[in-house]
Each structure stands twice: as C-alpha cells, then as structure tokens.
Amino acid sequence: CSPISLFLEREGLQLLPGGEAQLFDARHQEAVALVESETLPPGTIATVLRRGFLRHGRLLRPTQVVVVFRPDP
C-alpha cells in the first residue's frame, strides 16, 4: 500500500466498489451520460469517469459513470 492509501484509510475513506459491466447503483453512483451498446445489457456501467468515496460509511462523493441503454425499437 502507498502512504496516501494508508493515510486515506486511517481517515476513514474508502473507494466505492463498482466498475465496467456491473449494474448501475443509484445509491452510490451518478449517471452523467448514457451510451448505446450491443454487447452490454441496459442498466450496466459502460465507463467509470471518476471514482467515488465513502467516509466512515457515509457517501462523500458518488462515482460518476456512463450507463448503457437501448432505445425503444
């Protein structure tokens, strides 16, 4: 672990879990854009733009993500 990681951990900060191809969770993630995809199912994360943090179990900053959608036929 790096000294910064150890410091953040001591201060009660945690990186939020979640990444590409996982389901979008509005409790900890903020959808900043939508994108069409033929390979990923709707409602999944296409890209993580900025990681979020918890501090002592409370949301400090949500993870900003791009979410997959399929337009109506």
Per-residue pLDDT of 9-63, as tens digits, reads: 899 999 898 889 999 999 999 999 999 998 999 999 999 999 999 999 999 999 9
42 CB-near residues (< 8 Å, 6+ apart): 68, 69, 70
pTM value is 0.85
67 CB-near residues (< 8 Å, 6+ apart): 24, 31, 33, 34, 35, 43, 44, 45, 46
Please tell me the total number of residues recorded for the chain in this structure: 73
- Compute φ and ψ for 37, nearest 5 degrees: -150, 135
